[in-house]
């Protein structure tokens, strides 16, 4: 049966004074006029974890077959991400050049100087070393025991937008059956819709700093193998600079997260909730990161907070106290969870589907 709807809940949540003209509420919360007060109430929120979230915590077991399906979704997006990740390295190498005196490079009168780029063989050598750090299997690894965080976040919001009750009698994560299959399929949806973002953010945070170090070492070796005036000129150029490559890392992710914070606030100003992706400092691949449902925020410009339904907690909420100062994101979580620290988050793409009719109660 449908859940009980209350416009007053939404008005209180949105801090909108009463009485008010209902028609004036339509546009802030929906792109098209609502069909009913129930539709308006759903859009306004709030999403209440105590009644709208699954009771069981996210503690599913990942099978070999499950892992293969997840890797397939990620691998399908990897070629595009790989090209975009490698491009800044290529651009930096192609931009390297030195000015040489023509007297030192040949008998022809070519003017006062000639600009020479890094030889193609040297560029290929450096890119090969960098690409070695960007192998898909090394980045993603192999799935072991993981949950279905994206599936739970997507499915929970599906139920909410459908105005269906969650079956609170199911207290154990269902690995099979209608609900278990539905949550897993929504996990695949969450990964498929956001695969490029997950790979890009994870590689930027964890792999690009390592690839930058490897690239700088390889560039030094490549230049050291060059002979004559060209080798001397590039040696002098590199000797005057500390690392040509310095890509990725926590500061880059912090800057991206600041942009995403604006997007998330805008979404929550117009919707009851939105799935977001979290990146942890100690995760070694996207499979070690997390997906939750953002359900509210406060931002006074000094101490912003984000309220989420974290599916590891069952049907309770968690508060993130955000600190955007410094060179990396810092998040204090209430209640605390030792997950290595959140170093970035982004708004995920999401599309609502109605859960299987067998799950309607």
Alpha helices, DSSP H, located in the chain: 7-13, 26-29, 37-44, 49-52, 64-95, 120-131, 136-140, 149-162, 177-202, 208-224, 228-239, 250-270
Mean pLDDT across the chain, nearest whole number? 89
Q: Is residue 134 part of a domain?
A: no
Going by pLDDT thresholds of 50, 70 and 90, the confidence category of residue 18 is low
Indicate whether 21 belongs to any domain: yes
Please tell me the least confidently modeled range out of 17-21, 260-264, 321-325, 344-348.
Answer: 17-21
* Domain ranges, residue 24: 1-45
pLDDT band for 19, please (50, 70, 90 cuts). Answer: low
Question: Is residue 168 a part of any domain in this protein?
Answer: no
| Dist CA 240 CA 252 (whole Å) | 25
Whether 28 is in a domain gets the answer yes
Average pLDDT, integer, range 300-319: 95
Residue 3 lies in a domain: yes
With respect to residue 184, please indicate whether it lies within any of the assigned structural domains.
no
Backbone dihedral angles phi then psi of residue 318, each to the nearest 5 degrees: -135, 145
Q: Is the pTM of this model over 0.85?
A: yes
Q: Give the total number of structural domains in the chain.
A: 1
Q: What is the H or E stretch that residue 83 is in?
A: helix 64-95
Q: Is residue 323 one of the residues assigned to a domain?
A: no
């Amino acid at each position: 049966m449908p859940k009980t709807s209350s416009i007053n809940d939404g008005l209180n949540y949105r801090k909108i004074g009463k009485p008010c003209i209902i028609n004036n509420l339509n546009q802030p919360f929906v792109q098209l006029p609502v069909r009913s007060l129930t539709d308006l109430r759903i859009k306004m929120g709030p999403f209440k974890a105590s009644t709208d979230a699954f009771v069981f915590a996210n503690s599913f077991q990942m099978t070999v077959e499950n892992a293969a399906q997840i890797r397939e979704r990620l691998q399908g997006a990897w070629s595009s991400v790989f090209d975009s990740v490698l491009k800044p390295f290529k651009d930096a190498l192609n931009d390297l050049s030195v000015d040489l005196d023509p007297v030192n490079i040949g008998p022809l009168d070519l003017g006062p100087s000639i600009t020479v780029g890094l030889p193609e063989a040297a560029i290929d050598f450096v890119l090969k070393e960098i690409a070695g750090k960007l192998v898909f299997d090394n980045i993603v690894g192999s799935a072991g025991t993981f949950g279905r965080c994206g599936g739970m976040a997507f499915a929970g919001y599906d139920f909410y937008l459908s105005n269906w009750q969650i079956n609170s009698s199911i207290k154990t994560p269902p690995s099979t059956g209608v609900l278990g299959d539905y949550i897993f399929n929504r996990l695949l949806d969450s990964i498929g819709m956001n695969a490029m973002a997950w790979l890009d953010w994870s590689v930027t945070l964890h792999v690009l700093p390592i690839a930058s170090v490897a690239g700088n070492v390889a560039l030094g070796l490549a230049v050291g193998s060059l002979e004559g005036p060209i080798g001397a000129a590039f040696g002098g150029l590199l000797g005057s600079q500390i690392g040509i490559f310095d890509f990725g890392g926590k500061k880059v992710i912090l800057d991206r997260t600041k942009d995403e914070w604006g997007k998330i606030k805008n979404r929550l100003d117009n919707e009851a909730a939105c799935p977001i992706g979290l990146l942890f400092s100690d995760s070694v691949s996207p499979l070690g990161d997390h997906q939750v449902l953002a359900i509210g925020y406060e931002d006074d410009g000094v101490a912003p907070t984000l309220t989420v339904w974290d599916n590891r907690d069952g049907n309770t909420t968690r508060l993130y106290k955000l600190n955007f100062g410094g060179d990396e994101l810092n998040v204090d979580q209430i209640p605390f969870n030792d997950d290595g620290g959140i170093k970035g988050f982004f708004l995920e793409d999401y599309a609502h589907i109605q859960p299987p009719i067998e799950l309607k109660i």
